[in-house]
Amino acid sequence: LNNEITIFEKILAGEIPSTIVYENEHVVAFKDIIPKAPVHVLVIPRKKSRNLTEIAGVPETEIGHFLKGVALTATALGLDDSGYRVVINNGRDGQQSVEYLHAHILGGRPLKWPPG
C-alpha cells in the first residue's frame, strides 16, 4: 500500500493554498485548480481513504457523512435548482490522479453524457 502524503493532505493541513468553499466536521470542499466546468469543486473526507475501494473498510456513518458533505457543499454553492454532477474517479481506468478519496462536483452549465 502506498502511504505517500498527497496534495490534498497538504491542503487539509493548510500547507498549500486552496479556495475552500464549504467545510464541516467531516468534509472539506475546495475549488479544483483546473476547472472543467464553471463550477468545479472537490469534496474530501477529513479522515483519509485512498479511493472508493478502501471505503469498504470504513464505518457506514463516516461514509454517510462524506456523501452528505457532498450534498451540503452543492447546496452551499447554490446548485440545487440547476442541478449538477458528482464524479468519483477510481483507480487507473477511472483516471484517478490523486490518491486521496475525493468527489468532484461539476455544474454551472448543462453537462454532456456519457463522459469520456
Residue with grid cell 498549500, as numbered in its chain: 16
Helix (H, G, I), strand (E, B) or coil at 43: strand
Distance of closest approach, residue 95 Cβ to ligand AMP, in angstroms? 5
| Cα gap 72→91, rounded to integer Å | 26
Half-sphere exposure of 69 (CA within 13 A, CB side): 26
- Answer yes or no whether residue 13 interacts with ligand AMP by CB under 6 A: no
Binding mask 27-66 for ligand AMP (x = CB under 6 A): -----xxx-------x------------------------
Classify 47 as helix, strand or coil: coil
Q: Of 113, 93, 94, give the one whose Cα is nearest residue 102.
A: 94
Q: How many residues bind ligand AMP (CB under 6 A)?
A: 12
Annotated catalytic residue 102:
yes
Asked if residue 98 binds ligand AMP (CB under 6 A), the reply is yes
Least separation in angstroms between CB 10 and ligand AMP: 8
Where on the chain is the footprint of ligand AMP (CB under 6 A)? 7, 16, 18, 32-34, 42, 89, 95-98
Query: Among all residues, which ones are annotated catalytic?
Result: 102
